[in-house]
Amino acid sequence: MSKVEQNIPINKGNYSMDTPEREALFEKYRGQGWEEEYKEYRANWTKYAKEKIVSDYPLLVDIELATICNLHCPMCYTITEEFACHVHRGVMDFELFKKIIDEIAGKVPAIRLSLRGEPTLNPNFIKCIHYAKQAGIKEVSSLTNGSTLTPEFMEKMMLAGLDWLTVSIDGINEEYEKVRVPLKFADTVEKLKTFKELKEKYEVHRPVIKAQGIWPSVKPHVEEYYHTLAPITDLVAFNPLIDYLDNDTDIVYDEDFGCPQLYQRLVIGEDGKVMACSNDENGRMCMGDVKTQSIHEIWHGEPLTKMREAHAKMGGFKDLELCKLCYLPRKTEDSETSSVDGREFIIRNYVGRTQEIGK
């Protein structure tokens, strides 16, 4: 594979607005109890991508527990016609989940139980966490819209061994309630308070809780957003709005872009089909099927190898329709800054991308 110098961004599109001290603590808690392996895992996250190393197994496997969702947010691709046409709406079967874990336990350090839908709607959500942790997966994480977080459910998640939970919180008060209909901001804050109390009661640091909001919703009240959420979470972060709805036409690219994901993670849909990456939300490019193939076979198989080869060529991502629509190769600009308590941070927005929700 060619070793041309490319720009391979790591963790693009997701930015902390937190203090260095809290960021360090978040990292520490994530790695507590498996410090050395954790350090190696994080180092390889960058190394494999930058050096284009195809490891024996991916570092992270995304296992989508549900494609269904109970909300209808205006900026989400699950509300598009294309998604409705192409993506089966359902929840992952537990036997399929077990098959995946049985193969990757001891070989893959981390799994993420979320992708396109609301994972906690899978009736086996807790059972899946428990099964994965018992099997020895070091880090089990998930993302939720927060709607299902009752005290009992949060306690079960924690006792099952969930390591990291990201909660989508798009702004405060009316900003939040405009996007996350019919959820109420005050209720979500209460839930996070309860989660913090539960962790204190059990004297544990995990799951670490990250609050994450889309920038246009956070922007009107940045300080208040941070000061409301920081005391009840471990990290507060935001992401500029991406073109989820495929509305943009004149896209400006980073011409020397190469994709990191193809060396980091494997993404399995609710139906067992493997996607090209976490941004193939309509399942346009199928890399294999875990119902009939092993993870190892798919990770080293022809479709993914071809994707890697395309990306290894300078500008090769443009040969793939999927990648031309993705936010990762898009050029960003540092035209906007914001601050909390005088701590300044840059909003790395995509060139030409409106920051208006639903557009």
How far from the centroid of its chain's Cα atoms is residue 358's Cα? 20
**Closest distance to ligand SF4 from the beta carbon of 22 (Å):** 28
Q: In a 10 Å sphere around its CB, with 0-12 CB exposed, 13-18 middle and 19+ buried, how is residue 187 labelled?
A: exposed
**Distance between CA 101 and CA 111 in Å, rounded?**
9
Of the pair 183, 262, the CB lying nearest ligand SF4 is at 262
> CB of 106: closest distance to ligand SF4 in angstroms?
27
Starting at the edge strand found earlier in the chain, the sheet holding 273-275 runs 15-16, 235-239, 208-214, 164-168, 139-144, 110-112, 60-63, 265-268, 273-275, 286-289
Q: Which residue of 131, 225, 238, 317 would you call a contact of ligand SF4, by CB under 6 A?
A: 317
Q: What x/- string results for residues 265 through 304 when contact with ligand SF4 is judged by CB under 6 A?
A: -----------xx-xx------------------------
Q: Which is nearer to ligand SF4, 210 or 330 (CB)?
A: 330
- By CB under 6 A, residue 8 contacts ligand SF4: no
177 Cβ neighbours under 8 A, 6+ residues apart: 183, 184, 185
192 binds ligand SF4 (CB under 6 A): no
- Our finding on whether 261 is near ligand SF4 (CB under 6 A) is yes
SS3 state at 147:
coil
Q: How far apart are CB 258 and ligand SF4 at their closest, in Å?
A: 9
Q: Does 259 bind ligand SF4 (CB under 6 A)?
A: yes
| Minimum CB distance to ligand SF4, residue 277 (Å) | 3
Residues 328-357 that bind ligand SF4 (CB under 6 A): 328-329
323 makes contact with ligand SF4 (CB under 6 A)? yes
Do residues 269 and 67 touch, judged by C-beta distance below 8 A?
yes
Q: Do residues 69 and 119 lie in contact, with contact meaning Cβ atoms separated by under 8 Å?
A: no
Residue 210: burial class (beta carbons within 10 Å; 0-12, 13-18, 19+): buried
Q: Which is nearer to ligand SF4, 12 or 191 (CB)?
A: 12
Interface residues toward ligand SF4, by CB under 6 A? 259, 261-262, 276-277, 279-280, 317, 322-323, 326, 328-329
